[in-house]
Chain A
Amino acid sequence: MAYFLQLLITGISIGSIYALAALGFVLIYKSSRVINFAQGELIAIGAFIIYALTVWVHIPIWISLVITILISYFIGLGIERTFLRPMIGQPIISVIMVTIGLANLLSGLVFFTPFGTLPARYPDFLPDPIRFGGLIIKWEQIVGILITTIFITILMWFFTKSTLGISMRAVADDQMASLSVGVSVKKVFALAWATAAMSAAAAGFVVGSLFGLEFGSLTAIGLRVFPVVVLGGLDSIAGAVIGGIIIGVLEQLATGYLDGIVPGGGTGDVFPFVVLIIILLIKPYGLFGTVEIERV
């Protein structure tokens, strides 16, 4: 039972990372219908900037987290401005392929920096794990859940109260109609990318402090976003959160119980994708996604 609870707790904490990473993805999808394949690279870049600020510039890690989130805002804006803005009016399929190219480009650029091969860790900044009965809860996990909660609360406030948030929802709903009432769709797209980069950086921080900064495993989180959003529904923020936690828990349970059976182990890496294919086959719009009803 303690084993199961341990897996459950780890799963929830990892799931909250996925939820954080998926938030940005969902925002981009909601506002522009673009599937962002570069989310993993954004996560990695965020994590690396935090490392550079903390270890090389000697800024306390919490302040560098805040600074990095600010920098990521501009990275997101910059990416939208250079790569996505010229694609407005092009078919969505080309825009999605641009994000694939972008992912390639960003990962190539990362390899030009020492981070491509550097197996670094953040300096220890949290106290020892809490031991409770047979369970071990790391502070990093608690921090991860907290950051996710904070992000979601801010986003919820943003979408229900602020004018910009409401205009983002309007664009997600109907681009033509929102254009005609004076919403700047370009601004909304830029903001979606900026928010995506910000939440990716926060996710990168948590992943980095839990598992260390290895480029491959950081981008792997970006791929893990896909099962999450397919399960939750591509255009649902609540779906991203719930899907994230479900996928995180499933992944941990698979690692905990199936690895002994499967030769070579590593079931946690593939199980979410099996879930993805099954969901696509039986419930293609996910748990909370909007089912498309077309009237001609």
Chain B
Amino acid sequence: MAINRWIQSGNYRRSYKEDQTIFATFSEQASLIVFLIFLALVPHMPFMNRQLFRVVDLAFIYTIAVMGLNIVTGYAGQINIGQAAFMGVGAYAAVTITRDIATPLFQFGKTLPFWYIIILLPLSGLVAALVGAFVGLPSYRLKHLYLAIATLAFQIIFTWGVGHSPFLNQGGSIRIARLDFFGTVIKGSKTIGPFFYYFALIVLIIMAIAMRNILRSKYGRALIAVRDNDRAADAMGINPGLTKVYAFAISGFFAGVAGAIFALYNGSVIVESFSLSTSIDFLAMAIVGGLGTMVGSLIGPSFMLFLDPFVEKFSGFAQTIFPSTIDVATAMRPTIFGLIIVLFLIYEPRGLANWWRLLRQYFWRWPFKY
């Protein structure tokens, strides 16, 4: 039976090899390419302004961190309340490596060359991966969800440790030099927005491909096996403890890369960017997007970041109702984000990714109902 490779109304994969393919149909491939072309054109659109660039750039950077979180929480089934701290480790690694090793070694002036950034990103990722593996180490002996507590402890120790080390300027702002992209210095809002749009997007695509490939490999399936039933996984020759430690390391790597880009993007790091509430925001993004789905970690951060300005606007409006002693802006954000986490977990635990799936299936089968 010949299979229509463009339009399919269901899953026609017949062998394991076919099941491992990333795209079921050519139309999926085509629509992805169209979407990427659209993304590449977005910075040239007339409606793009500075605020919008900031939202989109941050969305890309956070997406990388959330993808890592999704590997640990969505696929390996371990709660991680310290993803922001892992991101912070990456950011501080990038800054201190540049300040204390690379600048004296290579005699960088006021700007950093682009080739150095290419090396710096994976390096910061590696540092964060090592830290991630260390924090995940208790999972070698522990079952259940104790590890959530370890990640929380790490988050607290990280914030405290950075705030108390003179080496890291007591958590205050540490500057990192701006980039020199083949002769163009990335400086000022005119160039930073578009440059980091493309830069973060390309890193994001590379990381997404890496994540997709990790997840469809033997190792990725081991993760899911451990999440679903660690005893059965053990019996099949998978080492559950080691698998979870690896998951933490990979997640740390993603967060570290995101942190390094974040540091370069802002031109400085400050410890407040990597607080416990940021970690919870990441968790919210992963939950809203859909845990354990690739698409979810791509949708979630954008959704939450685009929601943020609306929350701000709404709390500005609500401020007129409340007495001035109450700061509605600080109250509204945790309320709405907490509510979103709870409501999504209760009513749509599979997140926005599930809506996306239903939408796609509707069009696949159209005009039939099922």
Contacts and interface: CB of A to CB of B under 8 A. Distances in A.
Interface string A252-296: 000000000011101001100110110011001000000010101
A33 B345 contact: no
A111 interface: yes
A109 interface: yes
A273 B341 CA distance: 26
A289 to B, nearest CB: 10
B164 A262 contact: yes
Interface size bracket, B side: 35 or more
Interface in B339-359: 339-342, 345-346, 349
A182 interface: no
A67 interface: no
Contacts of A56: none
A116 B326 CA distance: 8
A280 B342 contact: no
B345 A105 contact: no
Given A262-B164, A266-B164, A35 B137 contact: no
Interface string B307-325: 0000000000000001001
Q: Considering residues A103, A113, A270, which has the most beta carbons from chain B within 10 angstroms of its beta carbon?
A: A270
A274 B149 contact: no
Nearest to B166: A263
Given A86-B346, A264-B163, A284-B142, A101 B148 contact: no
Nearest to A273: B153
A101 B283 CA distance: 9
A101 B284 contact: yes
A226 B154 CA distance: 12
Interface in A217-261: 223, 226-227, 230, 234
Interface string A90-130: 11111011101111111111111110110000000000000
Contacts of B149: 35, 226, 230, 276, 280
Contacts of A94: 345, 349
A280 B339 contact: no
Contacts of A103: 338
A83 interface: yes
A226 B79 contact: no
B327 A111 contact: yes
A110 B81 CA distance: 22
A142 interface: no
Contacts of A135: none
B295 interface: no
A280 B138 contact: yes
B330 A111 contact: yes
A103 B335 CA distance: 9
A294 to B, nearest CB: 6
B332 interface: yes
A87 interface: yes
Interface string B282-306: 0110010000000000000000000
Contacts of B79: 93, 96-97, 100
A87 B150 CA distance: 24
A90 B349 contact: yes
Interface of A: 33, 35, 37, 83, 86-87, 90-94, 96-98, 100-114, 116-117, 223, 226-227, 230, 234, 262-264, 266, 269-270, 273-274, 276-277, 280-281, 284, 292, 294, 296
10 contacts: A97-B345, A98-B345, A105-B341, A111-B331, A112-B335, A266-B164, A270-B161, A280-B138, A284-B138, A296-B235
Given A92-B145, A98-B346, A111-B327, 6 more contacts: A103-B338, A112-B328, A230-B146, A264-B163, A269-B156, A270-B157
